[in-house]
Amino acid sequence: MENVNIHKTAIIYSGAKLSPGVSVGPYSVVEKDVTIGDNVRVGSHCVITGQTRIGRNCKIYSSAVVGSAPQDKKYSADDNVFLNIGENNIIREFVTINPGTAEGGGKTVIGNDNLFMAYSHVAHDCVVGNNCIMANAATLGGHVTIEDNAMIGGFSAVHQFCRVGRLAIIGGCSKVVQDVPPFSMCDGHPAHVRSINAIGLKRAQFTSSKMLVLKKAFKILFRSGLTRAHALKQIIEEIESSSEIEHLIFFAKTSKRGLCS
């Protein structure tokens, strides 16, 4: 472990792999099956355990616990399960992230450039894309999928097996029990679709014409009173196709838990 900066009180197990530029703060523990990429900074009192891989340039703040056993009664200590974290992620204080379970595919996967604010939690078998934000104390149940550029408000909870579409935003303190459509703004207890995520789409440089088309599609899907199948048929027939419309249609068609109403 050359060119690493390990505080004298930190515990690094034999077998842990630390790349050049890694720093580990006071009283942190890095266990034997952990692999940490270049220039990762681990704060004080952190625990990184399990078969966990962390990509380069991540920052892990004080008291985060990364890779600890899934909170699932079916989990066995003999299960061969993994946690893969990409590059440039920020993991703030007291965040907890669990690996997968044998029954759920064995892997939790986190992409690049995400921000996990203090006390947020990613449960077993989740898949988080790129450029996502989980605000303070936001929680993902097991088997949740979060697409790119999604934002989850503070103290919100996403039920097991739900999906959150790309460029969606969930308001704080929301209870998400069904799939959150891409490009949407959802809020409530339980969460409902309120509108398109206008501010998020503007920041993503969506043109006014693209946003207008999405508004029309949302009106058909959520305000027409049609069944999901009939609403999607009307969208296909009446709205000019685009990558965004195609993604919305695919997301809705493949929803197993149903869409937030």
Catalytic residue among 45, 121, 124, 159: 124
Domain 5-146 in CATH 2.160.10.10? The answer is yes
* Cβ atoms within 10 Å, residue 107: 17
Question: How confident is the model over 200-241, as pLDDT tens digits?
Answer: 999 999 999 999 999 999 999 999 999 999 999 999 999 999
> Is there a catalytic annotation at residue 124?
yes
In this prediction, residue 32 has a pLDDT band, given cuts at 50, 70 and 90, of: very high
pLDDT digits (tens, 9 = 90+) for 106-160: 999 999 999 999 999 999 999 999 999 999 999 999 999 999 999 999 999 999 9
Residue 212: per-residue pLDDT = 97
Residue 223: which residues within 8 A CB-CB, separation 6 or more? none
pLDDT for residue 181: 98
Is the pTM for the entire model greater than 0.85?
Answer: yes
User: Which tens digit of pLDDT belongs to each residue from 156-174?
Assistant: 999 999 999 999 999 999 9
* Domain boundary assignment for the chain: 5-146, 207-253
Q: Is-catalytic flag, 78?
A: no
Rounded to 5°, the CA angle 41-155-56 comes to 20
Q: How many CB atoms lie within 10 A of CB 87?
A: 18
pLDDT at 73 over 90: yes
Task: Report whether pLDDT(2) > 90.
Answer: no
Q: Is 50 a catalytic residue?
A: no
Q: Which two tokens stand for residue 208?
A: 């006014």
Q: Above 80 in pLDDT, residue 104?
A: yes
Average pLDDT over residues 27-37: 98
Catalytic residue among 72, 125, 179, 187: 125
Task: Give the integer Cα–Cα distance in Å for 14 and 214.
Answer: 54
Q: Per-residue confidence at 40, pLDDT binned at 50, 70, 90? A: very high
Of the residues 25, 43, 100, 142, only one is catalytic, namely 142
The alpha carbon of residue 4 and the mean position of all alpha carbons in its chain are separated, in whole angstroms, by 29
Residue 26 has pLDDT above 80, yes or no: yes
Q: Are 134 and 148 in contact (CB under 8 A)?
A: no
At 135 the pLDDT is: 98
pLDDT for 261 equals 87
pLDDT per position as a tens digit, 175-206 = 999 999 999 999 999 999 999 999 999 999 99
What are the tokens at 252? 């809705």
Confidence of residue 1 (pLDDT cuts 50, 70, 90): low
Given this model, what pLDDT does residue 146 score? 98
